[in-house]
Amino acid sequence: MTKQVAQCPACKARYSVTPGQLRIANGKVRCGQCLTVFDALQRPATPPLTPRTPPSSPATSPVQPEPKRQETTAKAIPPQPADPLTLLSQLRADPPELHRRPPPSRRYEGWAFSGSVLALLLLAGQYLWFERAQLSSDPWLTDVYQWSCRYLDCTLPSQSGLKGLQTTHVLVRQLDSPDDALELLTGLHNTHSLPVSLPQLRIHFSDSSGRILAARDLLPVEYLPGSDSTQIEPGARLNIRLMIQRPATGHLGYEIDWIANPEPEH
C-alpha cells in the first residue's frame, strides 16, 4: 500500500499516512505530539538547497555522522466527522451580486406625488357625493354643497331624501256633489339643504274596524296636475289638493304616506 509522509507545521514531526486515511478524514491529520490538526494534502514548501563550499584549509577533520532524524510513526486517526466550521466554509455560497437601482428622478417623484393627491381628491369627492343626503345638513358643508349645486345636479333621490320631507297637514272632507266625491288637502315641506325628487303619494281608506277598503299610489304628475316640476327645492313647501271618488259608504278612516319614486333606468 502506498504511503505518504505528512509533516506537522507546528512541531515539524513527520508521519506516514495512507491515501485511504486521508480520504476518510478529508485530508485532516492530528499531530500525536502537539495535537495540532493540519491538512496533510497541502505539502509544505521545500526550502532551496544551499551549495556547500569546499573547506579553505587542506586539513581534514573527521566527519561526524549526522544524527538520524527521529521519525515518529503516525497514529492513524479514526474516522471522525469533519469539523462543522470546515463544512460551513465549504457550503457557504458566494453572495449574489446586487445591482443597485438608480435613484428615481425628481420628475418621477413629482408625478407620483401628484397622482397620490389626485387619487385622494377623487375618493373625497365620491364620499361627499354619495353621502350628500347626510353631509349637506352639516353647517360646515352646507355652503359647499349650495355652491357646487349651481353647476352640478345635486338633486337627492326620493329614497334618500324621504327623511327630510315632512307632511305639513292632512284633511279629507266630504263635498256636496252628486258623485259623492272626497276632497284631500295636504302639504309637503323639504327640510333638506338640497333639492329632493318628488316621491309618490300613497292614500288608503279603511272602515271602522281598521280593514283597508281601498288604496292608491299617485305619481307627482297626478297629485300636481298642470305642473312639470319633478323636485322640491330646499326649504320649499307644496300645497296639494285632490278630488277622490269615495270608495265606500259609511264612516271611513284615511291615511297618507310618501314612498320613494322609482328611479329611471339609465
pLDDT tens-digit series, residues 128-153: 767 776 676 676 776 777 677 777 77
Rounded Cα distance between 247 and 253, Å, is 11
Give the pLDDT of residue 48.
46
Longest dimension (CA), the chain: 174
Q: What confidence tens digit (pLDDT) does each residue in 54-68 have?
A: 555 444 445 455 555
Q: E-assigned strands of the chain?
A: 4-7, 14-17, 28-30, 37-39, 165-174, 181-190, 196-197, 200-206, 212-218, 231-232, 237-245, 253-259
Burial class from Cβ neighbours inside 10 Å (0-12, 13-18, 19+) for residue 204 reads middle
What residues pair up with 189 in beta bridges, in sequence order? 166, 237
Give 163's DSSP letter: G
| 194 backbone φψ class: left, alpha, beta (φ>0; ψ -120 to 50) | beta
Give the pLDDT confidence score for residue 88 in this predicted structure. Answer: 45
DSSP bridge partners of 244: 182
Q: Using pLDDT thresholds of 50, 70 and 90, give the confidence band for residue 47.
A: very low
pLDDT of 86: 56
Please state which CATH class domain 158-259 belongs to.
mainly beta
CA distance 261 to 266: 15
Q: Where are the domains of the chain?
A: 1-43+71-82, 109-148, 158-259
What gap in Å lies between CA 233 and CA 190, rounded to an integer? 7
pLDDT tier, 168 (very low <50, low <70, confident <90, very high otherwise): very high
Q: Which of 21-25, 88-92, 217-221, 228-232 has the lowest mean pLDDT?
A: 88-92
Backbone angles phi, psi at 62, to 5 degrees: -65, 135
Structure confidence at residue 240 (pLDDT): 92
First-to-last alpha carbon distance for the chain, in angstroms, is 98
